[in-house]
């Protein structure tokens, strides 16, 4: 009985539909774990790059030097560095067009930073919808496999004259494995989704705060006109 009810034997003895459900859930589980590890690395890298840029930003380095460095290191810059670069780029373009209105300059830089912020958040939130789907759908897929397996088991028992626990148990156990695999896929995906959502919310707050702080710096510089771009400071 122990050998017949081992997990491997239950999977091998399951009906084709139940085996197909199990295979699908295993593939989804592997894909969700890959997405989890990928997102862990990505968020860790974003935090590291943002923290490094913030330290450099508040170290007293001129904004133009920071901008030049961000342009040179565009491929290795973090989200905050790219947001800063987009704001400075728009600000300088407007100044090159001889626009001197402080409100226009500040509004243009702020819009550029907000657009860059949205792009960065879209990247940071990638794969979250997949994890949410795995967490919400996998138990139902597993339940479908269980119901189908139980129906198949009872259909096979219809022709028997005498039904005992030993004849019913294997078929039901085979079916329940599908639910177990569904939960195995869903639980890590839900936990990971909740954690990543909190981490991304913190990143969003950090980056939005930076946008406001940088906007205030630009506003101060614009308030002491004429201030050439080359002499911007914070």
At residue 14, the 3 state secondary structure works out as: coil
Measure Cα distances from 120 to 16, 148, 167 in Å: 44, 44, 58
Query: Which residue has 């539909």 as its token pair?
Result: 17
Q: What are 25-34's pLDDT values in tens digits?
A: 999 999 999 9
Given a contact cutoff of 8 angstroms between Cβ atoms, the answer to whether 125 and 200 are in contact is: yes
pTM across the whole model: 0.79
In this prediction, residue 195 carries a pLDDT of: 95
- The mean predicted confidence, pLDDT, of the chain is 84
Extract the tokens encoding 35: 């997405």
Q: What are 45-81's pLDDT values in tens digits?
A: 999 999 999 999 998 888 888 888 888 887 788 899 9
In this prediction, residue 128 carries a pLDDT of: 93
Measure the CA–CA gap between 134 and 131, rounded to whole angstroms.
Answer: 5
In this prediction, residue 160 carries a pLDDT of: 58
């Amino acid at each position: 009985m122990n050998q017949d009810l081992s997990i491997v034997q239950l999977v091998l003895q399951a009906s084709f539909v139940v085996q197909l459900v199990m295979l699908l859930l295993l593939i989804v589980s592997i894909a969700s774990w890959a997405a989890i590890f990928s997102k862990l690395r990505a968020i860790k890298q974003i935090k590291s790059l943002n923290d490094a840029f913030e330290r450099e930003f508040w170290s007293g380095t001129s904004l133009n030097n920071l901008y030049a460095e961000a342009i040179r290191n565009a491929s290795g810059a973090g989200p905050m560095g790219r947001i800063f670069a987009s704001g400075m780029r728009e600000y300088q373009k407007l100044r090159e067009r001889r626009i001197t209105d402080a409100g226009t300059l500040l509004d243009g830089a702020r819009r550029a930073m907000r657009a860059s912020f949205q792009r960065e958040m879209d990247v940071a939130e990638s794969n979250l919808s997949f994890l949410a789907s795995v967490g919400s759908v996998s138990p139902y897929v597993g339940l479908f496999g269980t119901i189908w397996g139980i129906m198949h088991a009872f259909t096979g028992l219809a022709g028997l004259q005498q039904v005992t626990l030993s004849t019913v148990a294997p078929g039901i156990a085979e079916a329940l494995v599908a639910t177990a695999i569904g939960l195995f896929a869903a639980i890590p995906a839900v936990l990971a989704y909740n954690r990543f959502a909190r981490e991304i919310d913190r990143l969003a707050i950090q980056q939005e705060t930076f946008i406001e702080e940088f906007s205030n710096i630009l506003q101060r510089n614009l308030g002491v006109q004429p201030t050439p771009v080359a002499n911007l400071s914070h």
